[in-house]
Structure 1
Amino acid sequence: MATKEKIMSAAKQFINYINKTPSPFHAVDELKQKLLKAGFKELRETEHWDIKPLNKYFVTRNQSSIIAFAVGGRYLPGNGFSIVGAHTDSPCLKVKPISGKVSCGYCQVGVECYGGGIWGTWFDRDLTVGGRVLVKNGDKIEHRLVHVQRPILRIPHLAIHLQREMNEKFSPNKETHLCPVLATCVQTKLHGIEKPEDTNTPSILQSEKHTPSLVILLCEELSIQTENLLDFELCLADTQPAALGGIFEEFIFAPRLDNLLNAYTATLGLIESCDASLESDTNIRMTCLFDNEEVGSQSAQGAGSSLQELVLRRLSTSTSNSTAYEESIPKSYMLSADQAHAIHPNYSEKHEANHQPGFHKGIVIKFNANQRYATTAITTAILREIARKVDVPIQDFVVRNDSPCGSTIGPIMSAKLGIPTIDIGAPQLSMHSIREMGCTSSVQQAIDLYRGFFQHYPQVFESLNF
């Protein structure tokens, strides 16, 4: 069992990660830096791979999905893959392709709802933007990250005097009521920020797609000329930092716990597993972190794409064994790691009486008879044995029969690839709110479980007598 000091240290390091990652692009970039520091080598899909035992690699797609893997010293094509899968995206508001808007003397930014967010929580928050910008640099087009570190946007509530039913029913129109305020038109003119005249060097400012002051701010953040800014993909984010909370600092109050907690801990688990045990491992240890889970995973960089299958096939290629990939699948195992619903003290009736996951009580296994989760008795038995070996407590969760059930990348990947899969996650509250709530124990428990999974799965698999 991890010490309190280790638990708190892990939680603080995770909070530091969350505060640097307002978008999936930042989430992947921060993990890339950790992997590079740990000796992983970057691969490109467009190039030939020369994979060798005991070496460590990663590959990205769209800069928002990443697959990292460490090759066991005894790995041969046809052996299994030990996989932890998670996702890098979270519900948020995204800047529209044409976002410039003026209404009643206010300059606003048009936004689109991404995923199933609790949109009421985005009102009266000090918001900023973060994401990627495509920049022209000579004859090259570069991918740059931007994160404005101050409040520049706000979605103000309507006063209760003008909407008396506010406390009885609040259901904002997602198109008309969620448009954030950037500035007043008066101040914009006083600062001399207006649409420039047409020139021989057209820029995004002259396209009338976005409010000029926003474009100029982005260029200032990146130290580039406006004519070199080609396009961008921006997420809105709360500027309030993630923090430890509760009288005993036992909680994590943060955005994007779903699902950056598992993206982060899976990566650390993989890195920490690469000790002497890798030399005797017959498997490839792998993390697969996908974008677009919150909107169904049906994208080139989502779990519904061919990305993972293509990577697994490349790693299974063998001139002497034409069925190496097919042989590897039943030997493999995947943890689909996505956050779980902790019991809510004010809504305890929403949980089934015998399945009420709590904070500090361990990682949650998620079951669903209708296959919204991929868990089976076999995959559960395997994980329980691994959890026992590394002393990580486990909880069970099943949704009530009279409640809808969310889903994860687990059923998508297990159906697509045929890999035995289990759905798990750390317990949390306020899921899909702009500010979510978890517990400090979960970070270290998840790291320990994922590290132990990579180290022990091949031996546990070999112990199966059926």
Structure 2
Amino acid sequence: MAPSLEELSNAQPITQKMVDFINESKSPYHAVGSIKKRLLDSGYEQLFEREANWEQKIKPCGKYFFTRNHSTIVAFAVGGKFAAGTSGLKIIGAHTDSPHLVIKPISSQKSSGYLQVGVQTYGGGLWYTWFDRDLTVAGRVILSDGQGKFKQHLVEVKRPILRIPSLAIHLQREVSTDGFKPNTELHLLPIIGTELGELSDDPNTKGFIANHHSVLLKAIAEELKCNVADIRDFDMSIADVQPGVIGGVNNEFVFAPRLDNLASCFVSLEALLNSENTLATEKDIRMICLFDHEEVGSTSSYGADSSLINDTINRVIQCTHASFDKNAPVDSYGACIANSFIISCDMAHAVHPNYSEKHQAKHRPQIHQGLVIKTNANQRYATNGHTSFLFGELAKRHNIPIQQFVVRNDSACGSTIGPITSSNTSIRTIDVGIPQLSMHSIREQCGCVDIKSTIDLFTEYFNEFSEIDSTLHIDE
């Protein structure tokens, strides 16, 4: 069923805000930078993992965040009535990364008079969608101040400087019958210019600068207003310069890059900020964990499969004991874990009108029909009947639509941070996602109405889930 015009009109402003966030976030570092600014503007205090002073800062009704690698960010707000022996954490987890191309450590390549930039594929992208796009670079750069100190700077070259041209059909007639099957090592090389741009290079250049075309480094240095020699290293992504937009004849869709999974990061942040007016009466800790490296398995020191979430929960609980909850029982940490809940939010597959047979007949999520609960008997998703029921009760209470999804038995099933965080923390978890089309394409598609309804549902999760959770006890 299509949304009403009123629903669509109400959803468009917040959706445009999300589109603006995505356009600002051409790398995970930029996404975290944007989220960090929002948190600071909303009165959150930045903590630093390497500083052992959290117990002096964490208080009831306090709001805090920290970053790790500047590509993962955790934000939390302590309920005014938090007590570790009877309270828990209400967590939403998502990820800041998306499939993209990453510049290699030695990227300088030449062929047939062209300058090319060597790249690695990151994640499971639909790489054919990267051909014939206007591309740029964005990421972080380590700069020297010339006096023995170094600093990270975010950079985005705000113009198209790269392109991966496709091969004319006249030179590959078989593509019409065999399909487009590019070799990602040989054919996915962006062109940055011709050899004309390198004629003035110093042949004696060594080190990091010699590993990359000078025209690339000059473009980065121009954005940073620094000298090329000041650039000591970087983590640089390739990104499409075409901005995300609200589109469709009724302005009901989002056409944008990186919806998977910046859309989930955005709705999680909005819900956390929207729920602040009930924090004084809250008995739990509200938290969002936005991880890097989900698209490549989460196995890094700042991915969901690290000790980050356990370390954070343990540290925060210890600090509440030292700061204000001094009479907490000795086993309060275990009780806190048992009283906690995680929503793993990662985009979901909406049924495709041209390939509807790819979905199981009774589980075909549609755009505009609400957040999707994802279930898999083989634990590719963390949802079970317990967590699905509680989440469904929350949605029913506020008349917010939700949908169900399982993959066909003859189809492979992807996974999320849900099973990882659930098994690592022993916290009850549900996997959900906003329905979308074109997942892992350079440009994806979702619906405006689902963005707003998800924010509304997540806001009520922070506001009311503890009350609903108290109505069902499984292990009695």
**In the alignment, which residue of structure 2 is the partner of 1:72?**
79
**In the alignment, which residue of structure 1 is the partner of 2:118?**
110
On the 8 A contact 1:77/1:315 being kept in 2, the answer is no
The one of 345, 348, 355 aligned to 1:347: 355
**In the alignment, which residue of structure 2 is the partner of 1:27?**
31
Deviations 1:314-355 (A, max 9, x none): 111136433222111110000000000000000010011100
1:353-392 to 2 correspondence within 5 Å?
353-392=361-400
- Cα distance between partner residues in 2 of 1:389 and 1:38: 28
**In the alignment, which residue of structure 1 is the partner of 2:404?**
396
- Cα distance between partner residues in 1 of 2:214 and 2:330: 58
Aligned residue type for 1:251: F
Deviations 1:108-143 (A, max 9, x none): 100000000000000000000100001112332111
On the 8 A contact 2:7/2:449 being kept in 1, the answer is no
Aligned residue type for 1:266: S
The one of 218, 223, 226 aligned to 1:221: 223
Counterpart secondary structure, 2:93: strand
- Cα distance between partner residues in 2 of 1:390 and 1:338: 22
- Cα distance between partner residues in 1 of 2:176 and 2:423: 44
- Cα distance between partner residues in 2 of 1:71 and 1:139: 40
Q: Residue 171 of structure 1: CA displacement?
A: 0.9
- Cα distance between partner residues in 2 of 1:391 and 1:122: 40
Matched, 1:49 2:54: yes
Counterpart secondary structure, 1:84: strand
- Cα distance between partner residues in 1 of 2:127 and 2:202: 32
On the 8 A contact 1:126/1:153 being kept in 2, the answer is yes
Deviations 1:21-73 (A, max 9, x none): 11000011100100111100000001120310001000110000001001000
On the 8 A contact 1:203/1:228 being kept in 2, the answer is no
Matched residues, number: 457
**In the alignment, which residue of structure 1 is the partner of 2:181?**
171
**In the alignment, which residue of structure 1 is the partner of 2:274?**
272
- Cα distance between partner residues in 2 of 1:27 and 1:187: 32
**In the alignment, which residue of structure 2 is the partner of 1:132?**
140
**In the alignment, which residue of structure 2 is the partner of 1:185?**
195
- Cα distance between partner residues in 2 of 1:326 and 1:103: 60
On the 8 A contact 1:203/1:227 being kept in 2, the answer is no
On the 8 A contact 1:150/1:239 being kept in 2, the answer is yes
The one of 418, 438, 450 aligned to 1:410: 418
What is the identity percentage for the equivalent residue pairs of Structure 1 and Structure 2? 48
- Cα distance between partner residues in 1 of 2:26 and 2:330: 44
The one of 139, 157, 160 aligned to 1:148: 157
Aligned residue type for 1:230: R
- Cα distance between partner residues in 2 of 1:407 and 1:3: 31
Aligned residue type for 1:113: T
- Cα distance between partner residues in 2 of 1:324 and 1:196: 65
The one of 2, 10, 16 aligned to 1:12: 16
- Cα distance between partner residues in 1 of 2:155 and 2:472: 49
Q: Residue 197 of structure 1: CA displacement?
A: 4.5
On the 8 A contact 2:123/2:295 being kept in 1, the answer is yes
Aligned residue type for 1:25: Y
- Cα distance between partner residues in 1 of 2:40 and 2:431: 29
Counterpart secondary structure, 2:91: strand
- Cα distance between partner residues in 1 of 2:473 and 2:305: 33
On the 8 A contact 1:195/1:212 being kept in 2, the answer is no
- Cα distance between partner residues in 2 of 1:345 and 1:71: 45
- Cα distance between partner residues in 2 of 1:116 and 1:328: 37
- Cα distance between partner residues in 1 of 2:31 and 2:126: 21
**In the alignment, which residue of structure 1 is the partner of 2:447?**
439
On the 8 A contact 1:262/1:446 being kept in 2, the answer is no
On the 8 A contact 1:15/1:242 being kept in 2, the answer is yes
Aligned residue type for 1:11: T
Q: Residue 244 of structure 1: CA displacement?
A: 1.2
- Cα distance between partner residues in 2 of 1:27 and 1:177: 29
**In the alignment, which residue of structure 1 is the partner of 2:202?**
195
Matched, 1:38 2:38: no
On the 8 A contact 1:204/1:226 being kept in 2, the answer is no
Counterpart secondary structure, 1:237: strand
The one of 95, 98, 101 aligned to 1:93: 101
On the 8 A contact 2:268/2:455 being kept in 1, the answer is yes
Aligned residue type for 2:263: L
Deviations 1:265-323 (A, max 9, x none): 10111011111x11111100000000000000000010000111000001111364332
Q: Residue 196 of structure 1: CA displacement?
A: 6.0
- Cα distance between partner residues in 2 of 1:204 and 1:419: 45
**In the alignment, which residue of structure 2 is the partner of 1:210?**
212
**In the alignment, which residue of structure 2 is the partner of 1:425?**
433
Deviations 1:221-251 (A, max 9, x none): 1011222111000110111110111111111
Q: Residue 3 of structure 1: CA displacement?
A: 4.1
Gaps of 5+ in 2: none
- Cα distance between partner residues in 1 of 2:283 and 2:312: 18
TM-score w.r.t. the length of structure 1 is: 0.96
Aligned residue type for 1:427: P
- Cα distance between partner residues in 2 of 1:154 and 1:4: 36
On the 8 A contact 2:118/2:189 being kept in 1, the answer is yes
Runs of 4+ in 1 over 4 A off after TM superposition: none
Q: Which moved more, 1:440-449 or 1:427-436?
A: 440-449
Aligned residue type for 2:54: W
Deviations 1:73-119 (A, max 9, x none): 00022320000000000000000011011111111100000000000
- Cα distance between partner residues in 1 of 2:412 and 2:470: 37
- Cα distance between partner residues in 1 of 2:48 and 2:149: 18
On the 8 A contact 1:127/1:154 being kept in 2, the answer is yes
- Cα distance between partner residues in 1 of 2:316 and 2:84: 7
Gaps of 5+ in 1: none
On the 8 A contact 2:197/2:215 being kept in 1, the answer is no
**In the alignment, which residue of structure 2 is the partner of 1:285?**
286
Q: Which moved more, 1:382-391 or 1:107-116?
A: 382-391
**In the alignment, which residue of structure 1 is the partner of 2:258?**
256
- Cα distance between partner residues in 2 of 1:279 and 1:371: 37
- Cα distance between partner residues in 1 of 2:306 and 2:284: 23
Deviations 1:403-436 (A, max 9, x none): 0000000000001111000000000000000011
Aligned residue type for 1:142: K
Q: Residue 217 of structure 1: CA displacement?
A: 1.1
Counterpart secondary structure, 1:167: helix
